[in-house]
Copies of this chain bind each other. A is one copy, B any other.
């Protein structure tokens, strides 16, 4: 028990290895399949898209994977990140629960995304790659890869979903400040983009389409690779530095979390905070409740089907088994752009199937309400994505109040909302509504899942 607010690790205690949960899984992850042969893909199948070091991380079952020293050197710009006890929020809620949050908004990009952008850029640079392509929706990932690329001399080309490109020019300006090139997607630079534009010249774009374009460019250019900001095993691996630090900081605080909460879009920040704790449990340690919070308007974990599906719209990616709403599902517009993805990380999906995690979904207005309460009590304005984790943590704290329990709650505040004030502006103007999809559309998208031989 402590009256302290902030828990900082000395730089000397910054983790030297990533934690790989594959080493501790009671059941191995289903294989990734080649969509042509329906056979498991091998490293060579992925080589056009990723450097070999990242491919090896994707399939590794080593528990600890060393973080290269040049990557740790960049991490020192903002890591170890702080852990806070939310004394003021607890007081505002009148809860006996103790609430802690790990804050990843201290990175130069303002979110957890540089935790994987930096190693991805570094491994590519080491492999002699000159250019990286990627997609971005809200812009957090594109910003982070642009930042990382600038540090290691890589050209970064970002396919930005057309509607974001037009409506969020400031995000583009950040990427350009870091030296990246932004292209509105669908674009005329790729076959997949041109095919969509031919049907509908004013297409607003989607994350699935932008992924197709970025993958196509990487697959067809020798000096170019592709980088993804979530979903894949190696991306989730890179985020485990968050949970490892949090574990040491909770020890400093003299508390041990009973409940861990994270928001989930592709699953990376949730994995980052929770996997090291889940691993501890899998090796015989304390059993904790691990709660994934997703947007009710794009609820892959709570409403999706656990099945093999494509990661993109043009079906250029391999097939992975995951909770999916169907690769043709178009989530309605809402403000947590970073959570608008049809699928969930295979590792997170697998843990859900193994009953090692729980999932819940909230609509956006309630999440913004939670975010504003958080800002007014704790002083940090959360990103719309992070508001889902805030909402989840507050609901747990209110449950503790009802039950008279003093649970220790830990959540990941994965980014600040400084780039998202238009969303708050809409919230205060009463213009924000709880966007939702039609059941017919979801059923239609799910009916189109690829059939995979048993």
Closest 9 CB pairs of A and B: A170-B421, A173-B425, A173-B421, A418-B418, A108-B379, A173-B424, A150-B376, A177-B375, A108-B380
A88 at the binding interface (Cβ < 8 Å): yes
Show 30 residue pairs from A and B whose CB-CB distance is below 8 angstroms, ordered by the A residue: A8-B8, A74-B379, A77-B379, A106-B106, A108-B379, A108-B380, A108-B381, A110-B418, A147-B379, A150-B377, A150-B379, A151-B379, A170-B421, A170-B422, A170-B425, A173-B421, A173-B424, A173-B428, A174-B424, A176-B424, A176-B428, A177-B372, A177-B381, A177-B417, A177-B421, A178-B381, A179-B376, A418-B418, A418-B419, A419-B421
Question: Which residues, 38 to 63 on A, are CB-close (under 8 Å) to B?
Answer: none
A11 at the binding interface (Cβ < 8 Å): yes
Please tell me if the beta carbons of B88 and A84 are within 8 angstroms of each other in the complex.
no
> Which B residues are in CB contact (< 8 Å) with A76?
5-6
Name the interface size band of chain A: 35 or more
A73 at the binding interface (Cβ < 8 Å): yes
Question: Which residues, 166 to 197 on A, are CB-close (under 8 Å) to B?
Answer: 169-174, 176-179
Query: 1/0 contact trace for A139-151 toward B, CB 8 Å?
Result: 0000000010011
CB proximity of A368 to chain B, nearest CB, Å: 10
Please tell me if the beta carbons of B418 and A169 are within 8 angstroms of each other in the complex.
no
CA–CA, A372 to B169, complex, Å? Answer: 17
Question: Which residues, 66 to 85 on A, are CB-close (under 8 Å) to B?
Answer: 73-74, 76-77, 84
CA–CA, A169 to B420, complex, Å? Answer: 12
